Chains A and B, each alone.
Chain A
Amino acid sequence: MASTAQAERRPKLAGRETRHGALRVAMLPPAERMSLRAPAASVAALASALKIRLPNAPRQSAKSGQRTSLWLGPDEWLILDEGGGDPLADCRSVTAVHSAAGISHRNVAIEVSGPGAAACLNSGCPRDLSLAAFPVGACSRTLLGKVEIIIYRTAEDNFRVECWRSFSDYVFEFLSVAAKDVAG
């Protein structure tokens, strides 16, 4: 029946990037994303199926190959797969009680990297992003200006910022303006 070629994927703001000195704000390529919800009793089975640890403490993340798990709430994880894996498929066989919902297209990711990356986020994010309070590997849902974001610190000067697709114009613009101020 299908007579046409597969529909083209058109990621939001694909390839957009602004640089101010060594401080860079750039869209990241699409990734597989899954919102995973589960009670404590199901965590072991899910972790085993997903082949990644599911941290049980606030702000913690785990990484395994191209897959990352971010603790967002006491029964909530964001599973990212940047290597083409399909976490939804991995969960399908798990009989332990859980909810796995695909949100690959709901979110987009923006990378803020370079000296002053934390200050750049702090232009609109009220959180303490010092290494003591928010070390490498820390993650959290929070706010940037008027928009909810998820921040995940991948290095001292590198953050992955996730937001909903339609908020990305705002978030990208906000971070670009902030980067300019921080870079001076």
Chain B
Amino acid sequence: MSGPFRISGAGRLDPERKAKFTFDQKPFTGIEGDTLASALLANGVHLMGRSFKYHRPRGVLSAGAEEPNALVTVARDDARKTPNVRATVQEVYEGLDATSQNRWPSLAFDVGQVNDMASPMFSAGFYYKTFMWPKAAWKHLYEPNIRAAAGLGVAPDKPDPDHYSSRFSHCEVLVIGGGAAGIAAALAAAQTGVRVVLCDEQPTFGGSLRFEMGAEISGEDAYFWAQETVEKLRAMDNVTLLNRTTAFGYYAQNFVGLVERVTDHMAAPGDLPRERLWQVRARRVVLATGAIERHMVFGDNDRPGVMLASAARTYLNYYGVAVGRNVGVFTSNDSAYAAAIDLKKVGVNIAALVDLRDNPSGPLVEQARALGIEVNHGRAVVSTAGRLRISSMTIQAKSGGGERMIPVDALLMSGGWTPSVHLFSQSRGKLSFDAATHRFLPGATAQACVSVGACAGSDDLGTAVAEALKAGEKAARDAGGKGEVSARIRVSASEGWSGGMLGTGPAGEGSTRKAFVDFQNDVTAKDIRLAVREGMHSIEHVKRFTTNGMATDQGKTSNMHGLAIAAEALGKPIPEVGLTTFRPPYTPVTFGAIVNHARHALFDPTRRTPIHPWAEAQGAVFEDVGQWKRAWYYPKAGEDMHAAVNRECVTVRKSAGLFDASTLGKIEVVGPDAAKFMELLYTNPWEKLEPGRCRYGIMLREDGFIYDDGVVGRLAPDRFHVTTTTGGAARVMNHMEDYLQTEFPQLNVWLTSISEQWAVIAVQGPKSRDIIAPLVEGIDMSDAALPHMSVREGKICGVPTRLFRMSFTGDRGFEVNVPSDYGQAVWEALWAEGQKHGACAYGTESMHVLRAEKGYIIVGQDTDGTVTPDDAGLDWAVGKKKADFVGIRGMKRPDLVDKGRRQLVGLRTKDPKVVLEEGAQIVADPKQPIPMKMIGHVTSSYWSENCGRSIALALVAGGRDRIGQTLYVPMPSGTIEVEVTGMVFFDETGGRLNG
């Protein structure tokens, strides 16, 4: 036998399929299909954890996802350590390694338990009130220590080696919950022929049929009916069955998030994803989420061995485990009788059944009495005893009087059932308080969903199945299902009960014992009353003050009790106090499932140019520019970045350099109105630009500030080749489309992104023409035929090219555009030519230095979204005669034409060796008191080997009027003196463009 408490012949697992596992390093044997909780109970282990705040010994409360107590850490290896796993959910597998949490040095002897004895100190609000002063101590002293003492498991400190997968799924009907109602709804829906998804959080479908032995369908055990029907569904092409799958979030328009646990139950997961995230869009959702039993709130109701009656029944009837040998029962409704009866039938002694009701009656009560179970009505359990396991319960008449102590080794309780309306509430449906049954039920819907079965308040199987069939068919029909529904389900016997109680039993108020409402956060009935006394009158405030319902179980068992106690203390009816809001996730979801594929190479696309492999082979160092990898510099052996950049910059101006400019954004603007459109989107005039010529264009936003810039070539009267900054490519395209589609839709012009159609090789420097010319066909390369700022189409290395004569260095330069697949081969051919002339490859850093030597701006570095063309010294690029372009009005706003605006200027440090820091602030008077008046900042700053000194660009208030003045850059290490200059540091006459 796998444990002394395993009952032969009971349960639905195969006792031959054993699985060995350890709990706190101690070896145990379970059965495949066991949860960790059932396997431990089979071995007589009830103590599974310590509570959060008081470190009280705790056992399992439940047999499902609502478990607040039995949280353990499951470890496969160092990196695969999952904390806060519910022992009632974790399936046992061969080699499972589980460890208890929140105890030191051991589960049975935990030093932290002193908190329990000092508990009068730790009432609700204790932390808020006590650790107020001194303020600084909170962050460094109080919080870290409190967190260390009160806590759950420890997160692993290694990267998660598992992988996770995802699936977007569409269906007509999504059925959440695979109990009798869910199965019936899915069957009816599926028979109409529509796509149906049925999910359930348990490994096996059946819901409460897994333990309700009194349920029969067509004369047989309803659980077998469930299995047969599920197999029928599995065979249907239009049905997706997802077991071990939790619907955790219900979002807008029937978008529901599911997590399928793929490998957490496997001894050898192999290469499977650990979890699969399903993002389901359903035309209709059928909620068949069932109900969760509530505990009873009484003194010391948290000792190991005290659990929900339905849990004990599940352990017996599904797992074949008796939770004790001498069991007490405390209830306020009929369902606990069924547990007592089932246990009694397999030979477990029922020490006493205590029913809070005065005159319980009905078949179950009769049956219990007939079996010889002592039924004490009108009485309550007022306390329990036992250190690491319950040893006795003490009962008393409701009216008071003598107490009687009854030895027990387990105590089952039932305060009634709470419909699981979590997902319905998440869907923004309204909950209605049903006064007759004291429960919140789904009311007005906000989305196309319908609740059936226990979650809708249907208390017996017959009703649940009948309404589920109807709702399933209706949902499918509404979503277009045409097929005939033949399913008929005859419920021949059924269990069903309603009623129960909310809040505490008698003798609750005055007792000094802890009567727990929320086990996981250690919230007692007293704490909730205290919260009300201290002025928390909204249930949302009570929740936050006491933390009731705020633990990882989100108050599945505690919310209704908390509400009832608060309502009682407030003297208001429950619906007037109201429920706290249900929010996703229903149960905790791993970060892995959410992050999913988006890790490593799939975290974000890494974009590489066609020339990237060459640069990589050359040992280039790359920098990230948005998603692009760009060659930053090409160090030779022994060179650091500084040396490499100096060499590259000098070589370009001495001979030539090759630069991979493929990442530039490129847009082909085509149509009879192309020039008109360009006139509207750029500040410059375009109508008169000759085909074959280029122009530097500036694009503004409507507010008059610079948005982007780039060289534009006119290929034909109706065709422009526009370049944008690398980072601006996508947004410039969007900006242009926006104006074209919505402001100027009358224009016959279209935009096509050609950024990746063309690889771009910039060849810059005095030898650039000599390098290119031998490879070019059909283009006259002479200065007369191909002057600076012109473009030609022809061939290079036998493939098509758009050859631009343009310069971003101030030296003679070209940009060779070739179709991307040819990019690397053409680069290699140019490189080979370049070698004959001593040319080098240069990266983005040298590109930046070379352009700064010439005072060419970089949008986004020298501008920041508040810089006008005039501020940047680019007023010449604004067409003065134009009647309209985007930004024409914005740039005339009073503030934008005001005196004293920050203008782009050059800075020369008095000490040429000092290189300013980009972003450094500039002041006129370094002796003024702090805070100083800052009049500008450095936007670009480099060491220029070509100039033999440092160079910088800066935005300075009234900058152009300050040329020649000395300003100051205060830095932590001292104040740097600078002289304001023009923006051009090299070849001021511009002769080198044709040099």
Contact = CB atoms under 8 A, between A and B. Distances in A.
User: Touching in the complex, A and B, CB below 8 A?
Assistant: yes
Interface string B812-843: 00000011111011100100000000000000
Interface string A170-181: 100110011011
A139 interface: no
Contact of A101 (B167, B598, B602, B670): B670
Contacts of A133: 170
Given A125-B168, A126-B279, A145 B829 contact: no
A123 B596 CA distance: 10
Contact of B797 (A4, A173, A174): A4
Nearest to A3: B774
Interface in A152-172: 164-167, 169-170
B777 A2 contact: yes
A103 B754 contact: yes
B820 A165 contact: yes
B254 interface: no
Interface string B597-617: 110011011111110000000
A128 B281 contact: yes
A167 B170 contact: no
Contacts of B281: 128
A2 B775 contact: yes
A124 B597 contact: yes
Contacts of A5: 797-798
B752 interface: yes
Interface stretch (A7-15, A43-51, A58-66): A7-15
A36 B169 CA distance: 33
Interface centre among A1, A127, A145, A165 (most CB of B within 10 A): A165
Contacts of A98: 671, 750
Dominant secondary structure of chain A at its interface with chain B: loop
* A1, A8, A105: most-surrounded residue (chain B CB, <10 A): A105
A10 B824 contact: yes
Interface in B771-790: 773-777
A22 interface: no
Contact of A122 (B169, B271, B820, B826): B169
Given A1-B777, A146-B598, A130 B605 contact: no
A181 B167 CA distance: 10
Contacts of A9: 821-822, 825
B672 interface: yes
Contact of A126 (B168, B598, B829): B168
B798 A119 contact: no
B165 interface: yes
Given A8-B825, A10-B825, A1 B605 contact: no
Given A6-B798, A105-B819, A173-B601, A99 B606 contact: no
B605 A99 contact: no
Contacts of A181: 165, 273, 276
A16 interface: no
B756 A7 contact: no
A166 B608 contact: yes
A106 B755 contact: yes
Contacts of B795: 2
B605 A97 contact: no
A112 to B, nearest CB: 15
B522 interface: no
Given A100-B670, A106-B757, A130-B170, A10 B821 contact: yes
A106 B754 contact: yes
A169 B273 contact: no
A6 B279 contact: no
Contacts of A167: 605, 607
Nearest to B628: A166
Contacts of A180: 271
A181 to B, nearest CB: 4
A94 interface: no
Interface string B758-778: 100000000000000111110
Given A9-B821, A30-B821, A119-B167, A35 B797 contact: no
Q: Which of B279, B668, B826 counts the most A-chain CB atoms under 10 A from its CB?
A: B668
A107 to B, nearest CB: 8
Contacts of B271: 180
B825 A7 contact: yes
B166 interface: yes
A68 B628 CA distance: 32
B247 interface: no
Nearest to B612: A166
B327 to A, nearest CB: 45
Contacts of A102: 754, 757
Nearest to B824: A10
B836 to A, nearest CB: 12
B581 interface: no
Given A105-B821, A145-B602, A2 B798 contact: yes
B829 A97 contact: no
Given A4-B775, A128-B281, A170 B755 contact: no
Given A10-B824, A106-B820, A181-B273, A101 B754 contact: yes
B752 A35 contact: yes
A97 B168 contact: no
Given A7-B822, A147-B605, A122 B797 contact: no
B698 interface: no
Contacts of A37: 670-671, 750, 752
A133 B194 CA distance: 13
A104 interface: yes
B752 A101 contact: yes
A7 B798 contact: yes
A125 B758 CA distance: 28
Contact of B602 (A1, A12, A130, A177): A177
B773 A104 contact: no
Contact of A178 (B165, B610, B628, B798): B165
B168 A106 contact: no
A84 interface: no
Contacts of B598: 145-146
Contacts of B313: none
Contacts of B825: 7-10
A9 B799 CA distance: 9
Contacts of A145: 597-598, 602
B432 interface: no
B511 interface: no
Contacts of A119: 167
Interface in B426-446: none
A21 interface: no
Contacts of B799: 6-7
Nearest to B278: A122
Nearest to B759: A105
B775 A105 contact: no
B670 A99 contact: yes
B748 interface: yes
A12 B758 CA distance: 14
Contact of B818 (A7, A35, A39, A104): A7
B861 interface: no
Contacts of A130: 170, 195
Given A105-B819, A106-B757, A173-B602, A127 B775 contact: no
Given A104-B757, A181-B165, 13 more contacts: A3-B775, A5-B798, A7-B826, A8-B822, A10-B610, A39-B748, A106-B757, A107-B756, A123-B166, A128-B281, A145-B597, A173-B601, A177-B602
Interface of A: 1-12, 30, 35, 37, 39, 75, 97-107, 119, 122-128, 130, 133, 145-147, 164-167, 169-170, 173-174, 177-178, 180-181
28 contacts: A1-B776, A2-B798, A6-B797, A9-B822, A10-B821, A10-B825, A12-B821, A30-B821, A97-B672, A99-B671, A101-B757, A102-B754, A103-B752, A104-B819, A105-B819, A105-B820, A106-B757, A123-B166, A124-B168, A128-B170, A165-B820, A166-B756, A169-B601, A169-B605, A169-B606, A174-B597, A177-B163, A178-B597
4 A-B pairs with least C-beta separation: A6-B798, A37-B750, A166-B607, A7-B825
